[in-house]
């Protein structure tokens, strides 16, 4: 960006964001106080909100932008409709922007919603002015998606699809329940605004607020609170280092309904080839990051050199044990599949596996207690 002259405003976007926001915070509550909402409004709101957000997280994001799995055409069609309903531009356009975001994350000149330009810009400001006109029609980073007929169909008919879903769905529900205005306000506008901002938080808050367990080379954070509002996308630090993983929250206790949806669909045959990062790679990244943080903190201490040496020794030992363990684990799995491996060899291997597992656990404990002192 040169000088202080800002690119021209995009009035259509400003109108959509501003008017929907005013309706959601003023008119929807006013209508509710006047005529009251029923449980049907709440249930349809939740259904529509989930449909929109999951179409973005599982569809636009993890399927189309990152190719972390493959999906049956029926599921892709559903995501295409839900994405238009979410009013976040076409899947092709969204994915193109998002791939640039990952490639040039935090680069103020290239990342379309660079978090380094502040909360407002990364949240919504980037859509209010013509910041990205020179790349707007350039989808050369999405040639793979241009072969997806559903993606191209949605891109071509995005505007009519967006209008039909955003007006048609609430009106149909209004006719069904005898309250067209109520459904338009709750399932139409309130749902749209909350769906917009919960998604936008991933570009803004998830790059500002939270922890960095895997890398601090970019601004992305892990944030369990945000994960709740974003259907699992709050584990954004993990996502930025391992973007090809269909999971964002990798542990069972991390809230990632997008991951659960993709996994459940695989049991129904609707998704396949779900990609996960090897555990060894994840563990190594985590240890490396802990080492970096500790080294930085140690540098301020008087006996820094000595502690650093001990820390690095411990790190090397951990790396060694890790490689040994995952090596044996691989051998065990291979032996299991191979009938030619003799029984006693298999039990020997298993014994070694148990020993390595134990040794790694001990080493991990000692490592963790050491870095905890300098965290
Ligand atoms: Zn991403
Ligand atoms: Zn990001």
| Tens-digit pLDDT profile for residues 220-234 | 999 999 999 999 999
Helix, strand, coil percentages for the chain (3-state, nearest 5): 70, 0, 30
The ligand minimizing its distance to the Cα of 99 is 1
Distance CA 331, CA 42 (A): 53
Q: Is the model more confident about 73 or about 335?
A: 73
Segment holding 29, helix H or strand E: helix 28-35
pTM above 0.85, yes or no: yes
Average pLDDT value for residue range 255-278? 98
Query: What is the per-residue burial (b if ≥16 Cβ within 10 Å, else e) of 225-249?
Result: ebbebbbbbbbbbbbbbbbebbbbb
* Number of continuous H segments (helices) and E segments (strands) in the chain: 17, 2
Question: Considering only 3-7, 71-75, 300-304, which range has the smallest mean pLDDT?
Answer: 3-7
With a cut of 70, say whether residue 60 has pLDDT above it: yes
The candidate with the shortest Cα–Cα distance to 229, out of 202, 210, 253, is: 202
Average pLDDT value for residue range 23-40? 96
The ligand minimizing its distance to the Cα of 68 is 1
Report pLDDT for 4: 61
Dist. CA 170 → ligand 2 center (Å):
32
Dist. CA 153 → ligand 1 center (Å):
23
Burial class (CB in 10 A: 0-12, 13-18, 19+), 35: exposed
Dist. CA 46 → ligand 1 center (Å):
24
- DSSP class of residue 272? E
Question: Considering only 34-38, 92-96, 123-127, 299-303, which range has the smallest mean pLDDT?
Answer: 299-303
pLDDT more than 90, % of the chain: 90
**For the chain, what's the residue count?**
375
With a cut of 60, say whether residue 369 has pLDDT above it: yes
Average pLDDT value for residue range 96-116? 96
Alpha helices in 233-375 (DSSP H): 236-241, 257-267, 279-298, 304-337, 343-373
Distance CA 150, CA 62 (A): 16
With a cut of 80, say whether residue 135 has pLDDT above it: no
Residue 141 in contact with residue 99, Cβ under 8 Å?
yes
With a cut of 90, say whether residue 375 has pLDDT above it: no
With a cut of 80, say whether residue 134 has pLDDT above it: no
The pLDDT tens digits of the residues spanning 279-328 come to: 999 999 999 999 999 999 998 888 899 999 999 999 999 999 999 999 99
Q: Is the model more confident about 26 or about 5?
A: 26
Query: What is the per-residue burial (b if ≥16 Cβ within 10 Å, else e) of 183-220?
Result: bbbbbbbbbbbbbbbbbbbbbbbbbbebebbbbeebbb
Residue 16 in contact with residue 134, Cβ under 8 Å?
no
pLDDT more than 70, % of the chain: 99
With a cut of 60, say whether residue 3 has pLDDT above it: no
Dist. CA 69 → ligand 1 center (Å):
14
* pLDDT mean across residues, the chain: 95
| Bridge partners, residue 71, by sequence | 271
Dist. CA 101 → ligand 1 center (Å):
8
The ligand minimizing its distance to the Cα of 246 is 1
Distance CA 367, CA 333 (A): 28
Residue 166 has, within 13 A of its CA and on its CB side, a CA count of: 20
Q: Which residues contact 205 (CB under 8 A, 6 or more apart)?
A: 119, 123, 223, 226
Report pLDDT for 2: 45
Q: How confident is the model at residue 133 (pLDDT cuts 50, 70, 90)?
A: confident
What would the 3-class secondary structure string for 80-92 be?
Answer: HHHHHHCCCCCHH
Average pLDDT value for residue range 44-50? 98
Report pLDDT for 10: 95
The candidate with the shortest Cα–Cα distance to 294, out of 323, 314, 279, is: 314
Distance CA 238, CA 145 (A): 24
Dist. CA 244 → ligand 1 center (Å):
9
**How far does Cα 200 stand from its chain's mean position?**
11
Q: How confident is the model at residue 136 (pLDDT cuts 50, 70, 90)?
A: confident
The ligand minimizing its distance to the Cα of 111 is 2
Distance CA 48, CA 163 (A): 15
The ligand minimizing its distance to the Cα of 245 is 1
Dist. CA 104 → ligand 2 center (Å):
10
Question: Considering only 99-103, 132-136, 331-335, which range has the smallest mean pLDDT?
Answer: 132-136
């Amino acid at each position: 960006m040169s000088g202080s002259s800002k690119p021209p405003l995009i009035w259509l976007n400003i109108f959509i964001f501003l008017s929907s926001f005013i309706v959601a915070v003023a008119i929807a509550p006013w209508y509710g106080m006047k005529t009251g909402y029923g449980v049907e409004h709440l249930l349809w709101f939740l259904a529509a909100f989930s449909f929109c957000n999951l179409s973005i997280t599982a569809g636009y994001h993890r399927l189309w932008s990152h190719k972390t799995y493959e999906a049956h055409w029926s599921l892709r069609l559903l995501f295409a409709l839900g994405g238009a309903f979410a009013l976040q531009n076409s899947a092709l356009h969204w994915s193109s922007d998002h791939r640039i975001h990952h490639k040039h994350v935090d680069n103020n000149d290239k990342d379309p919603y660079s978090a380094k330009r502040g909360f407002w810009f990364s949240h919504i400001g980037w859509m209010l002015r013509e910041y990205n006109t020179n790349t707007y029609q350039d989808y050369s980073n999405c040639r793979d998606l241009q072969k997806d007929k559903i993606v191209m169909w949605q891109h071509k008919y995005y505007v009519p699809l967006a209008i039909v879903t955003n007006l048609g769905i609430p009106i149909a529900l209004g006719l069904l329940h005898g309250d067209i205005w109520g459904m338009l306000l709750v399932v139409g506008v309130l749902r749209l605004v909350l769906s917009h901002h919960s998604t936008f938080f991933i570009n803004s808050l998830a790059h500002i607020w939270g922890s960095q367990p895997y890398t601090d080379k970019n601004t992305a954070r892990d944030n369990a609170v945000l994960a709740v509002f974003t259907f699992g996308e709050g584990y954004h630090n993990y996502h930025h280092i391992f973007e090809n993983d269909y999971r964002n929250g990798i542990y069972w206790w991390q809230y990632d309904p997008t991951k659960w949806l993709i996994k459940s669909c695989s049991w129904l045959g609707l998704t396949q080839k779900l990609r996960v990062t090897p555990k060894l790679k994840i563990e190594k990244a985590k240890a490396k990051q802990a080492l970096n943080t500790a080294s930085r903190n140690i540098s301020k201490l008087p006996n820094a050199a000595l502690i650093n040496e001990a820390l690095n020794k411990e790190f090397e030992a951990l790396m060694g044990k890790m490689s040994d363990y995952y090596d044996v684990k691989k051998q065990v799995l291979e032996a299991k599949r191979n009938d030619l491996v003799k029984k006693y060899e298999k039990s020997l291997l298993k014994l070694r596996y148990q020993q390595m597992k134990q040794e790694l656990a001990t080493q991990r404990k000692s490592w963790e207690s050491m870095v905890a002192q300098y965290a």
